[in-house]
Amino acid sequence: MSASRSTGRVVALCGGVGGAKLAYGLQHILGSDLTLVVNTGDDFDHLGLRISPDIDTVLYTLSGLANRELGWGRQDESWNFMQALAALGGETWFQLGDRDLAIHVERTRRLQTGETLSAITASIAARLGIQARVLPMSDHPVRTVVATSEGVLPFQRYFVERRCAPVVNKISFDGAAKARACSQVLSALHDPDLRAIIICPSNPYLSVDPILSVPGMRLAIENAAVPVVAVSPIIGGKAVKGPTDKIMAELGVPATSRAIAEHYGELIHGLIVDHADEEDRKTTRCTVHAAASLMKTDEDRIRLAGVALDFAGNLATDIAVAARRRGR
Ligand code: GDP
């Protein structure tokens, strides 16, 4: 293990499927020294239940319960509830497996007793044997809304019901102005033992921007004065999964890793791109490190997490040297 991985804590910003893959690798290396700040802009109320899709994907992935065939939900799933609901003429556009239902029912019950989403998430994570700290970005509601060619759509209507088909004109985060970051998120970012912040290869527009829309979040990241490293979700001009590249095209942005770096701008010190995008190194403003960034296996996830931590460790040295030079 390299020196850069041996001490200190790490905060990672994370959406669902893409983010959770890297989070799995980071947890393997860091255990309880990892804090995950998870997007809740996708959360919604459905069939009387509060659904937090990204938190659930992270919880299932980190506990080894994720359904790898489907790419979402729980493994060993059955669908009796959905079939019974369909027979009654109920709403079936959002699939809820029988086992998966338990987390939504339990979360909803506890929210109704006045518990916070962060407390509920922490206790479910502990029950599932997860070592990393999993935190929602906020305990206040922030809801992603997509202005499209078919009108303004709540996130899940765009993403699941319309399968990202409508052309995106604008993405906004309802409630963000009034939201506050979870106090544990701010403490993790202020921790003197913090050594890096990783932005997982999540969709920048739909998964990371909602986190950054929470007032004070961006400033807390900047003030942390540690290397901030993002992993690009674009490989060879395409998203591995989901609509990231389609949305970039619709917003008039080229689907490149360079554009991902530009999107994060001054917030990041370094970007990890795939070997396929090594050319982007020449034109990208921040420091770029090329690696094999497609995560098919658990080993891939752990290897890429190690690359991200080592890269951040090296940047820390560069940042310290630059600061010393400026001070001279
Ligand atoms: P969602 O909330 O479930 O859509 O998941 P995220 O926002 O966390 O992740 C979606 C992004 O993950 C997409 O843009 C994918 O391109 C990216 N992604 C998925 N798997 C991989 C992978 O193995 N490597 C990289 N670099 N990106 C990935």
Structural domains counted in the chain: 1
Distance (angstroms) between ligand 1 centre and the Cα of 243 equals 9
The tens digit of pLDDT for each residue in 60-72 reads 999 999 999 898 9
The tens digit of pLDDT for each residue in 124-139 reads 999 999 999 999 999 9
Distance (angstroms) between ligand 1 centre and the Cα of 81 equals 29
The tens digit of pLDDT for each residue in 281-311 reads 778 889 999 999 999 999 999 999 999 999 9
Please give the number of the atom of ligand 1 that sits closest to the Cα of 14. Answer: 8
Give the chain's mean pLDDT: 94
Mutate to test the pocket of ligand 1, among 55, 202, 272 (most ligand atoms within 8 A of CB): 202
Q: Quick check: is 89 in a domain?
A: no
Q: Quick check: is 244 in a domain?
A: yes
Does the structure show a pLDDT above 70 at 219? yes
Distance (angstroms) between ligand 1 centre and the Cα of 294 equals 10
Does the structure show a pLDDT above 70 at 206? yes
Q: Quick check: is 60 in a domain?
A: yes
Distance (angstroms) between ligand 1 centre and the Cα of 221 equals 22
Full domain range(s) for residue 309: 6-69+116-326
240 lines ligand 1 (CB under 6 A): yes
Q: Quick check: is 110 in a domain?
A: no
The tens digit of pLDDT for each residue in 243-271 reads 999 999 999 999 999 999 999 999 999 99
Phi and psi at residue 69, to the nearest 5°: -70, -50
Please give the number of the atom of ligand 1 that sits closest to the Cα of 54. Answer: 2
d(C-alpha 142, C-alpha 136), whole Å: 11
Q: Quick check: is 111 in a domain?
A: no
What's residue 328's pLDDT?
53
Q: Quick check: is 100 in a domain?
A: no
CA dist 44 → 24, 47, 52, 54 (Å): 25, 10, 7, 11
Which CATH number is 142's domain given?
3.40.50.10680
Alpha helices in the chain (DSSP H): 17-30, 53-62, 80-87, 101-112, 117-127, 155-156, 183-190, 209-212, 217-223, 244-250, 257-264, 280-283, 298-327
Distance (angstroms) between ligand 1 centre and the Cα of 202 equals 5
